[in-house]
Structure formats: structure tokens, C-alpha cells
Chains A and B, each alone.
Chain A
Amino acid sequence: MNDALGSVQSVLILGGGSDIALATAKALIARRCRTVILAGRDPESFSGPAKELRHAGANTVESVTFDALDHSSHPAFIESVFERFGDIDLVLVAFGVLGDQDRAEVDPTEALRILDTNFLGAVSVLVPTTAALHRQGHGTIVVLSSVAGERARRSNFVYGSSKAGLDAYCQGLGDSLVGTGVRVIVVRPGFVHSKMTDGLDAAPLATDPEHVAGAIISALTRGTEIVWVPRQMRYVMSVLRHLPRAVFRRLPV
């Protein structure tokens, strides 16, 4: 169960290898989460992180197979997780690919892979997840969106558009769930040092996974629905959003 201060006791991580997700899991464990289910394409690769999470204090850490691209498997997957582990207090949607923007501009397969994973894959798994949480009568869905979805940028608009779709879907989903005991938190990080951004030049206001984890914990306590990481991102983006396109296009972002 959620407690009064937003601590949870069990979490399902979709995209169990994500650096941001693992940092979040550790922060949740420090606040009494005891069951962590890591779901991803290669559950075997989770044995290292699983050990770390146990060491941090989790009693149960299980790895299960989940592929965001295999849409038709999602309903049965979610059903089996809820049946096997009982109440899931928090579902963290952390999978995602940055993709290869240059290739995506010429190769529809790459463009669709990005959209299929980040947007359609998320929607596909969120539908049965929402139903399960609704039956349970409580729970929180935390979705890793991105500032990239706030305004499409020349340099990564395929990824950006996938996050824009995801972000819009999740805002509407949150509104549809008012009064059900289930809530949705949309997290919009800027540049985060992680496997995804390895080798890229850090953008201004770059943060790390622990910082994102801290912001998620605080949102769970305070009941915040949209979380910018770092917090100043909110103001930066509100300026960027209102720049004329001719100006925005020329910005080195």
C-alpha cells in the first residue's frame, strides 16, 4: 500500500535496466519499498542490479520478460504480474529508446521503431496496467516523458514526437482516473547522464539519475502530477515554447 507520505511497498519497473529506474528503485527501497519487479527484454542481464537492490534492503526482487515492442503480449503479461505478486503500488514506465535521428529521417523502419517503443508500446502496456490498478483500487503510474516532447527540436524530433504523444496520453489518462484511487505522474527530465546519453555532449542543466529519483520521491509525497527535472527546466521550457519558430530553429539545442 501507499502510505500517507507517498512511500510504496511494491514497484513494477517496465524497462528494468534503465539507469533512472534503478536509481528510483533504490530511493524507494530506502523508504520501505520491499518488492521490486524488473521487467525487460533481457531479464538475465538484471542479475547485477537485482543483487544491488537486495543489498539496499528489498526482500523480493524478481526479473521478468517484457518487450515494449511486442504489443500483443502486454495484457497477459500484466495479468500474470498482478496475479503472481499481488498488489503493485507503483508502476514505473521507464523503457525508451533515443534512436538514430539521422537514420530515422531516411529510414521509416527506424522512425517507427522509436514511435513503436516510446509511444505505442507505452500506451499498449498502460491500458491493461490501468485496468489492473483500477481493480485494485489504488496505485500510482509514473511515466518518464521528456522535455524533448515539450517542443520538437530539429536535432531529435522523432524521439521528441514519441514523447509528446506519450506525455499527452498520460495527462489525459491521469484526468480520467480522478476519483479512482489511481494517479499518474508525468516526469519530464532534461538531459540525464545515463546509458541512453552515453557519449553525447551534455546539454545545459544536465542531471543524473539520482536527481530524477529524488524528484520522483518528492512528487509521490506532495502529489505533484507533472515533474520537471531539474525544476528550473519548467521555466526554461516555458520560454522556449513561446519562441517564434524562426528563432527556435536556429538555437543550438
Chain B
Amino acid sequence: MSRESVITEQPGDDVLLAGWGGTAPTRARLASPLTEADARQLLDRAPDRGAIARGLGRAYGDAAQNAGGLVLDATALSGIIDADLDRGIVTARAGTSLDELMRWLIPRGWFLVTPGTRFVTVGGAIASDIHGKGHHVDGTFGNKVRSFRLLTGSGEVLDVDRESSPEVFWATTGGMGLTGVLLDATFELIPTETRFIRVDEERCPDLDAMFSAMEESDSAYRYSVAWIDCGATGKHLGRGILGRGNHATLDEVPKTKRSLAHRFDPHQLAVAPPILPSGLINAWTVKAFNELWYRKTRVSHRDLIQDIGLFFHPLDMIDEWSRVYGSRGFVQYQFVVPFGAEDTVRRIIEILGNENWPSFLAVLKRFGAANPGMLSFPMPGWTLTVDIPVGRAELARTFDRFDEMVLQVGGRVYLAKDARTRPENLGRMYPRLPEWREVRHRLDPDHRIASDLSRRLGL
């Protein structure tokens, strides 16, 4: 008798799963349902520790893993079911990736709310209620969703419409997969004449300049995001590059590119080697990188015609880029604070610089209106995202301090990125948690849907 045989017979394989940050891997049984009936049956026979759906594993923390339980790989449930290309409405299975969708839609003149990578599924996009550079105009992915079908923990399949079942709809949108397994969804598209974005870039010498540039003119752009050099201190604190754009119309595209204006065929340029030593990304390499990045942009650039792939998903060009952080992985910390709390953003950037925390590609974005998602992350305000490699033991305290600063002004951290916040903070960050719990409990009284995230945070 081996230790393995002690585990009851379940379909699938025992695998170690972690999020994109590569931290806190746990073992689960991973099964890939090919049909809805498979998914139902698997859920029905799930072990005591329950089941959770997993898309492409792009959540940074532990949202799509379930130690000792079942993980349903939803990526095989993929494909476009129905498309109304006159009105711009698509129904797709939840495992369909945004990459697949874009390859099909962009040549046909349609686009989607997209995060910083195309390699996320529709299910993952709804469960995390993801946002992109266009949040101040388009809202989240969930804002575009009209309805979906949901397999709940008690084995029922619900047709959930935004208008007729708002409670389940807004508990699931941003609900981190904990209300059930999404099967398919119907959502609205964004029209686009070409596959290009007309981009303006400008260097902002400090944080105030950055804040005011975004406040004053974000509204002229559908897409806007700033890269901040977290290594810059003193009077350069918060300097960075603001990149904003709109979908380019056909006559804005240079004639030579017009014939290809709809082609969308991004490819990966490189794969990061599988094992890189931890410590490659440190305060010094990052400082040098950030300095170069800041210098690479001239003081300003107008009307650059950029490919959608390059503008939205620069990191997708390197497959498995997260490996550069080494075997210990990294934490991506993303918080939002309401307008008026600019000083909190400033102090956090200051601490990162003063304490020499290496973060490259820190990103600042000005959010638009919130939606009714009970655990949805965005709220009107500023959101900052930083990546920090795991290593120095004080990192835990530093992040805890940031949490406190964010809480003090009524902000929150993003659950799709979280891998370390304190459970007792959650109710303060997400005041509608009790309401969400009620809906979840009604859909799944025995909590058969569970994840490492739900256990860690006591959701």
C-alpha cells in the first residue's frame, strides 16, 4: 500500500497547481470535462474537499487551485456557440480564451474588454471581473456580459440573466469561481475598424504630473495606462510613461498597412528558459531596466500606430515570462484607492523605492465607475500594480503595511492577484461580503465549491 492509494479513486491526475506567481503550490486531482454532462458528473463525485474551476491559470495567487480536492480544467469546454456580428454579441463556452476570440473577431471588426494578456478564459474573465486599459470608458468584462449559464455546487444548471437574476449574476461576476462552474456566456463586443491603436505616449517627470495628465485628458482616450518607475526617488518619485490610445480608423492607418488592417496573427517571440535562479530579478537589475525603459521614450510621441497585440499584451510575446522570477516565484500586489487618496499611492511608491524593493513594470491606472459586482475589484480611483519576487522575509510585513494604508482610505486589494492578504481584512475591503456569502450559501449550502483562496481567506 502506498500513500497515493490511500486517496479514493477519482478520475483525473494528481498534479501540483499554482497561480501565475508560482507561489504556494498545492496538490489536487485535475480533471478535464469535455462536455457539460462530464462537468456535472465530476462535480457530483467530487471529494470532501470540494471542487473549483480553473481556466488558463493566469490568476497570480491561489484562486484556481484546491488542495486535496478536485480542480475542473474548464479549458476543454471551449468554442464560439453563436455570434451576431451585426449587433456585436457573442455566446462562447466558458473555456474559450480571449486569444481565440480575438483571432476570430478582430478580422471581423470586433474587439473585447481585455486584460494585460490574451491568455485568459471567458470563465476566468467573469470570475475575476477583469478590467483593462479601457476601464474608465468600458467598465469591466462583466459590464459587457448579458447572461451566462452556471453549474452550481448543488448540481443545478442555472440560466443567469443580468436583468432577471441580478443577485446570482453579480455574485458570480467577480465571485472567484465560488458560486459554481461557468459553462458559457453571452457578451457584447467593442467595434473596431482596424487592428491598430493610435497611441500617444508621454513622459511624466513625477507623480503629480502623472495624476494630472490622467485627470485632465484620460477622457479623450478609450485606453489609458501609465508605467511607473518605482525605483525613482526624491523629486523624480513616481515618474513614468503614460500611454494612451484609441482604436485607429482605416484612414488613420498608413496606406502601406491598410491592406493588412484586419489581419491579427500575433505570435510568440521567445520562451523563457524553464529554470532560472531566484535572485535574477533584484533591486539592481530592476533599477537598470527601469532607467532604460524610462529613457527609451522620447519626451512625447503622438499618433503612433500600434498593433493591438503590442499595445495591450506586450508580455504575451514571451511565453512563460513569469519564469524570470526564479523558482520561488513572485507576488503581484494590486490595490485601488478612491480619488482623493493620491497620497497613499505616493507613500507606497516611496516605500518601494526607499526600501529597495525591486519592482519592474509597476502600472498605474485611473478607474472609472464601479459595477454592482459584490466582490468586484474596481472602484472609482487609482489602482497600482507591482510585481515583487519572493525572497526577503520582510516582504510579508511590507505588504501588510500597504494593506493597512489602503484600508485606511477605504481601498482594497484585487483577489485575482492576491496570495497573502489577511482574512480579517476582507470584510473591510469588500463591504458587501455578507451579501455575497448569502447568495453563495443559497446556491451551494454544503460549500462543495471551494478553493485554496476561499480557505485561506475564510470566504
Contact = CB atoms under 8 A, between A and B. Distances in A.
A131 interface: yes
**Which secondary structure dominates chain A's binding surface?**
loop
B118 to A, nearest CB: 25
A181 B16 contact: yes
B452 interface: yes
Chain B interface SS verdict (over half)? loop
Given A7-B420, A87-B455, A181-B67, A134 B62 contact: no
Nearest to B60: A4
Contacts of B331: 4-5
A78 interface: no
A134 B6 contact: yes
B402 to A, nearest CB: 13
Contacts of A2: 24, 26
B132 interface: no
Interface in B1-43: 3, 6-7, 14, 16, 21, 23-28
Interface stretch (A144-152, A214-222, A231-239): A214-222
A137 B27 contact: yes
Interface residues of B, number: 37
A3 B328 contact: no
B295 interface: no
B420 A136 contact: no
- Max count, chain A CB within 10 A of own CB: residue among B21, B66, B68, B328: B68
A161 interface: no
Contact of A137 (B67, B422, B423, B456): B67
Interface in A129-171: 130-131, 134-138
Contacts of A137: 26-28, 49, 66-69
Contacts of B452: 1, 138
B3 to A, nearest CB: 5
Interface of B: 3, 6-7, 14, 16, 21, 23-28, 49, 61-62, 66-69, 327-329, 331, 390-393, 395-396, 399, 419-420, 422-423, 452, 455-456
Given A1-B67, A3-B23, A180-B27, 10 more contacts: A3-B456, A134-B7, A136-B67, A137-B49, A179-B27, A180-B16, A181-B16, A181-B26, A221-B391, A222-B393
23 contacts: A2-B24, A3-B419, A4-B331, A4-B390, A6-B396, A7-B396, A7-B420, A9-B423, A87-B455, A131-B6, A134-B3, A135-B7, A135-B68, A136-B68, A137-B27, A137-B49, A137-B68, A138-B68, A181-B16, A181-B26, A214-B393, A221-B392, A222-B390
